[in-house]
């Protein structure tokens, strides 16, 4: 397996990192969630994403918003969706970063997301079976996500 490095080279004793490689989710959903949770507190981001999985709160789609309908509850934006599968992956990543921060001796409730990046990963080739013994080629997309949190002063 190849060695992956973080795109943002933050250093210090008050940071914790986490990474997900080749997650089988939509790149557009992952990029929109990354832009939304950047700068939030870790607990607030996790609570919001739990509401997204429960279809209570939408994620605003600011970049990939062509033919995206309006949703109630969005302040300052109209278009949005409920990307449940991508939100579950982000929740696992946030939990992983919280555990890494606790291992480094950081306070769990003082963590703020300073860097989050979602990039398209490799495409996996697959085939969709069709009628009469035929098959249609299909590419399955993956996403690489990295997240860095920093402990904020109270």
- Cα separation, 124 vs 24, whole angstroms: 10
- For the entire predicted model, the pTM comes to 0.91
Question: Under CATH, which architecture does the 16-151 domain have?
Answer: Alpha-Beta Complex (3.90)
Using an 8 Å Cβ cutoff, are 91 and 53 in contact?
Answer: yes
Domain boundaries, the chain: 16-151
Give tens-digit pLDDT for 64-117: 999 999 998 888 899 999 999 999 999 999 999 999 999 999 988 899 999 999
Helices assigned H by DSSP within the chain:
27-37, 42-53, 84-103
Average pLDDT over residues 3-25: 88
**Taking a C-beta distance cutoff of 8 angstroms, is the pair 116, 146 a contact?**
yes
Pair 91, 43: CB distance under 8 Å: no
The rounded percent of the chain whose pLDDT value lies above 70 is 98
The strand pairing partners of 148, in sequence order, are 17, 115
Mean pLDDT for the chain? 92
Pick the residue with more confidence: 154 or 32? Answer: 32
């Amino acid at each position: 397996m190849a060695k992956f490095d973080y795109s943002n080279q933050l250093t210090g004793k008050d940071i914790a990192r986490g990474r997900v490689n080749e997650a089988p989710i939509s790149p557009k959903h992952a990029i929109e969630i990354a832009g939304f949770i950047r700068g939030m507190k870790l607990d607030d981001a996790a609570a919001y994403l739990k509401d997204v999985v429960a279809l209570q709160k939408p994620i605003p789609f600011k970049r990939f918003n062509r033919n995206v309908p309006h949703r109630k509850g969005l302040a300052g934006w109209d278009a949005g969706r409920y990307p449940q599968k991508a939100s579950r992956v982000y929740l696992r990543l946030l939990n992983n970063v919280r555990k890494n921060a606790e291992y480094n001796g950081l306070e769990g409730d003082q963590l703020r997301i300073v860097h989050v990046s979602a990039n398209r990963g490799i495409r996996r080739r697959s085939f969709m079976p069709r009628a009469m013994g035929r098959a249609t080629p299909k590419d399955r997309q993956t996403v690489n996500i990295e997240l860095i949190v920093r402990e904020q002063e109270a």
